[in-house]
């Protein structure tokens, strides 16, 4: 009986198909998306609705994975769209996805509702509603962008993030360097320090509320500081007789890995500082210079660079100081390693043959590849989804002293979609914050 049942089930499960094809190739291109202005009954909110959709559109286009369809080509009006989309009208425009939404006013607050449609499948795939103050509309636009990005690509978004960097002004021999922060789309730019002292290597805390960096508050005595963005207060991390520099937060924000040059030892080593207890622990013990430590996402390992073999190479060591392993194998010198938020890759700066490169490799050192190259590129920083890198590029200084400006750039992990980040001043040492929502 069981036997017959099995056969019967097999027969039922077998569904014969006439034509069987295999597609092993396709076309990867930016996804066309139609982003309509948020509809509102209140005409005073029309401009706001337009601004929000504009920010969303710019965000998605900047990712390089989407292409916004020109609003002038839209057939269906926002009003009718708020009831039910006519998918055929959007298919004509070759839009694969459609974003429609409404905006309402609730006193000082606004409620924003959006729906993302799959035009081909003719169905809604995302629908969300947010309430916030009117001033916060830009952030809502970023959050909406993240939701769309995540739903369509499967990757986490990176739009509701900030960038902290070192703003540079003045001549080369007397450069003024101060901390600056802005949204990832260069909006809401502001300076955090006044430029009276030099700052270098700023890094975000996991909650994006604090920044650790190295500063020359006292001349010839650089120290690691922590800056609170909300309060504007800063404090020195630990009391060390020597120089502390190149700090980075652990993934939980409870520790900092940094380099410490002990005057008694004479060379710099990797240290971990517990921010709760203020106790520190030496991780490396070698006569060479070990710098630029970066935690793995689980904080169990640290990648750093060292010249213990004569040239600067990348090493991984466990947080307890055991199992040291060299991962870089190619020629050239490696600097500023940063562990990807995904944990699968390590970005680095490489110098070889008079050129600087931004490269990535897997954590075991395999599949090393360069994604950016210039006279001077340095200081890669990962986007929170681990898909993009930001770094700074310095132009060559010409014989008459002109040039030499440095700017921020972002690039896709594949080496495509390199974009210049517009900043009011020269910029270096960028750090990309984690998602803020």
Partner 1 sequence: MHSIYYKAFNYLDNFKPAYLGIYFSLLFHLSILLIAIGLPDFFKPNKILIPKVIPIEILNISDVTSLTLTKESIDIDNKETKNVKQKKFNSSNNTEIQKVNLQEKPKKNLTNNDNSIVTEKIDSKKILQKNKQINKLNQDEVTKLDKVESLKINKIKPKLKPKPIEKLESKSDIKIENKPKPVIEKDNKKKLIDKPKPILKPESDFNLATMLKDLRNEDISNINDNNNNEDNIADSDEKEEVEANVELSISEMDLVIQQLRGCFNPRAGTQIVGNEMVKIGAKIDRNAYVRKDTVQIIDTNISKSNPYYEAITESAVATLYNPLCSKLKLPLDKYESWKNLKITIDYIWIKN
Residues that bind partner 1 in the complex, under the rule CB under 8 A: 15-31, 63-66, 91, 94, 96, 118, 120-122, 125, 151-155, 387
- Rounded least distance, CB 98 to partner 1, Å: 14
- Rounded least distance, CB 96 to partner 1, Å: 7
Q: Which helix (H) or strand (E) holds 122?
A: none
Sign of CA dihedral 173, 178, 184, 189: negative
**Is the CB of 156 or the CB of 332 nearer to partner 1?**
156
Enter the tokens of residue 197.
């002292």
Enter the tokens of residue 414.
């594949």
Q: What's the CA dihedral at 135, 137, 142, 143 to 10 degrees? A: 110
**Is the CB of 25 or the CB of 106 nearer to partner 1?**
25
* Cβ atoms 241, 259 nearer than 8 A: no
* Cβ atoms 326, 314 nearer than 8 A: yes
At 58, give phi and psi (nearest 5°): -65, -40
- Rounded least distance, CB 116 to partner 1, Å: 12
Separation in Å, CA 290 to CA 32, 270, 297, 330: 47, 6, 21, 19
**Is the CB of 284 or the CB of 385 nearer to partner 1?**
385
> Which single residue is written with the structure tokens 């502001």?
190
Question: Any idea what DSSP says for residue 85?
Answer: -
- Rounded least distance, CB 412 to partner 1, Å: 9
**Is the CB of 8 or the CB of 121 nearer to partner 1?**
121
**Is the CB of 426 or the CB of 434 nearer to partner 1?**
434
**Is the CB of 154 or the CB of 232 nearer to partner 1?**
154
- Rounded least distance, CB 108 to partner 1, Å: 37
**Is the CB of 56 or the CB of 243 nearer to partner 1?**
56
The Cα 249–Cα 212 span in angstroms is 8
The Cα 243–Cα 249 span in angstroms is 18
- Rounded least distance, CB 301 to partner 1, Å: 21
Separation in Å, CA 416 to CA 86, 296, 392: 35, 25, 16
- Rounded least distance, CB 373 to partner 1, Å: 24
**Is the CB of 23 or the CB of 331 nearer to partner 1?**
23
- Rounded least distance, CB 253 to partner 1, Å: 24
* Cβ atoms 391, 400 nearer than 8 A: no
The Cα 324–Cα 301 span in angstroms is 10
Helices (H), 69-223: 78-83, 87-92, 137-153
């Amino acid at each position: 009986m069981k036997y017959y049942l099995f056969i019967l089930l097999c027969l039922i499960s077998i569904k014969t198909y006439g034509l069987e094809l295999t597609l092993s190739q396709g076309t990867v291109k930016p996804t066309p998306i139609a982003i309509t202005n948020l509809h509102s009954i209140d005409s005073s909110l029309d401009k706001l609705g337009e601004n929000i959709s504009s920010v969303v559109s710019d965000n998605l286009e900047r990712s390089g994975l989407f292409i916004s369809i020109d609003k002038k080509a839209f057939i269906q009006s926002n009003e009718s769209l708020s009831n039910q989309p006519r998918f055929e009208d959007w298919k004509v425009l070759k839009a694969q996805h459609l974003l429609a939404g409404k905006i309402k006013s609730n006193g000082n607050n606004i409620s924003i509702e959006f729906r993302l449609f799959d035009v081909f499948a003719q169905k809604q795939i995302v629908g969300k509603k947010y309430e916030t103050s009117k001033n916060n509309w830009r952030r809502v636009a970023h959050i909406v962008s993240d939701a769309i990005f995540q739903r369509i690509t499967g990757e986490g978004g990176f739009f509701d993030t900030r960038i902290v960097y070192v703003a540079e002004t003045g001549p080369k021999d007397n450069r003024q360097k101060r901390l600056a922060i802005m949204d990832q789309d260069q909006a809401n730019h502001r300076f955090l320090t006044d430029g009276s002292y030099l700052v270098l290597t700023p890094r975000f805390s996991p909650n994006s509320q604090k920044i650790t960096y190295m500063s020359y508050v006292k001349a010839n005595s650089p120290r690691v500081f922590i800056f609170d963005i909300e309060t504007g207060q800063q404090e020195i991390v630990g009391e060390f007789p020597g120089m502390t520099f190149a700090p980075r937060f652990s993934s939980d924000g409870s520790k900092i890995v940094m380099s410490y040059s002990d005057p008694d030892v004479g060379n710099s080593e990797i240290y971990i500082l517990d921010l709760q207890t203020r106790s520190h622990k030496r991780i490396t013990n070698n006569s060479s210079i070990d710098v630029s430590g970066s935690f793995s996402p689980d904080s169990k390992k640290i990648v750093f660079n060292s010249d213990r073999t004569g040239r600067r190479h990348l090493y991984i060591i466990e947080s307890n100081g055991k199992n040291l392993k060299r991962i870089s194998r190619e020629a050239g010198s490696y600097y500023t390693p940063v562990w990807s938020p995904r944990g699968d890759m390590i970005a680095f700066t490489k110098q070889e043959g008079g050129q600087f490169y931004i490269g990535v490799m897997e954590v075991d050192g395999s599949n090393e590849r360069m994604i950016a190259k210039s006279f001077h590129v340095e200081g890669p920083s990962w986007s929170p989804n681990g898909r993009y890198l930001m770094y700074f590029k310095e132009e060559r200084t010409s014989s008459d002293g002109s040039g030499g400006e440095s700017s921020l750039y972002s690039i896709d992990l594949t080496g495509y979609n390199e974009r210049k980040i517009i900043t009011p001043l020269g910029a270096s040492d960028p750090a990309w914050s984690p998602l803020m929502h």
